[in-house]
Homo-oligomer: A and B are copies of this chain.
Amino acid sequence: MVSIHDVAKHCNVSAATVSKAINGRPDISEATRERVLQAAADLGYLPNSAARSLKTKRTYNLGVLFVDKKKSGLTHEYFSSVLESFKVEAESHGYDITFINQNIGLQSATYLEHCKHRNVDGVVIACVDFTDPQVLELTYSDIPLVTIDHIFDDRMAVLADNVTGLRELVTYLHGLGHRQIAFIHGEMTAVTRNRLASFHKTCEALGIVVPDAYLRTSEYHDIAGCAEATRALLTLPTPPTAIIFPDDFSAIGGRGVITELGLSIPSDISVAGYDGIYLASVMHPPMTTYLQDTKTLGKIAAEKLIDLIEQPKTTIAEHIVIPGALITGASAASPNSIQTNGFE
């Protein structure tokens, strides 16, 4: 391990001078700066991040907190896509990414304790159970923080545009001729509330009547749950002609039940998902869905978090909504006469 002192000795200067040269400080002559930098390169000097952050209180490490109900972890397609983009952006600003967990060494700790122990400069929170006391503790702390798809009053938040998403989906289905639209929504979170409100508002505006039985809950990413909810909808006296699922992934369950009951998509029933994950585009027929712009979501989250860290005075906590895009796949089409005759 070659330290700053080795470089100093090699140049006949003090360690302080080396530090200044490396960090681009002004009170040093151009000649010595070059001499020092050359020596550092020759000796293979690398700054020790532990020593540096012990002094400066800055680690250039960003914590990532992600815990979903289904324990998908990194295999969650929507999240891993957001995270990948977050990571790329963070790295371009000189930050590294580390995962937050509930350990300090072999002892268990809260998320906040873990963050303090590791001295992360900031934290991004996504997809967690936002009612978890440990998550709340973290959001009440003074660590710079960005939440994804959730708003904590005065905290920075980056959100997918769920209101527009549901409006566009419903409007599109309505345009195809559907008047009996069911909505299987995820468990009650901020995201779900927005989607649900937008669903109702859009239906009302379009004059679509939504029977209570057309609304069902099934956890996000829960294939079995979505299958069950779909089965319930299809066995109603007047089943819907179109179903909107909680997300593309759980749609697998819903579509499975439809096929199993001998119905075909979209001639017998139309379906739509949410998220626009890759999977949705390769299903047969491809999913009509609302694409969430995960790339932008992750990038903006990183940018904003770094703003909070580097310009705390002038950065105000915003709630940034990232637009998505309607993807019209063949899973939705005009309802046939048999399907619609019992209604309207």
Contact = CB atoms under 8 A, between A and B. Distances in A.
Contact of A80 (B48, B80, B99, B282): B80
A303 interface: no
Contact of A98 (B88, B97, B282): B97
Interface stretch (A114-122, A188-196, A268-276): A114-122
In the complex this chain forms, how many copies of it are found? 2
A84 B79 CA distance: 13
Contacts of A284: 259, 284
Of residues A103, A109, A256, A259, which shows the largest number of chain B Cβ atoms within 10 Å of its Cβ? Answer: A103
5 contacts: A46-B117, A50-B50, A73-B87, A252-B282, A259-B284
Max chain B C-beta neighbours (<10 A), residue from A73, A80, A97, A104: A80
A296 interface: no
B54 A74 contact: no
Nearest to A109: B46
Contacts of A93: 106
Contact of A49 (B80, B92, B119, B282): B119
A287 to B, nearest CB: 12
Interface of A is mostly: helix
A53 B118 CA distance: 11
Nearest to A253: B282
Contact of A119 (B48, B75, B104, B259): B48
A61 interface: yes
Contacts of A47: 104, 117
Contact of A96 (B49, B60, B118, B279): B118
A340 interface: no
Interface string A240-256: 00000000000010001
A51 interface: yes
A172 to B, nearest CB: 24
A339 interface: no
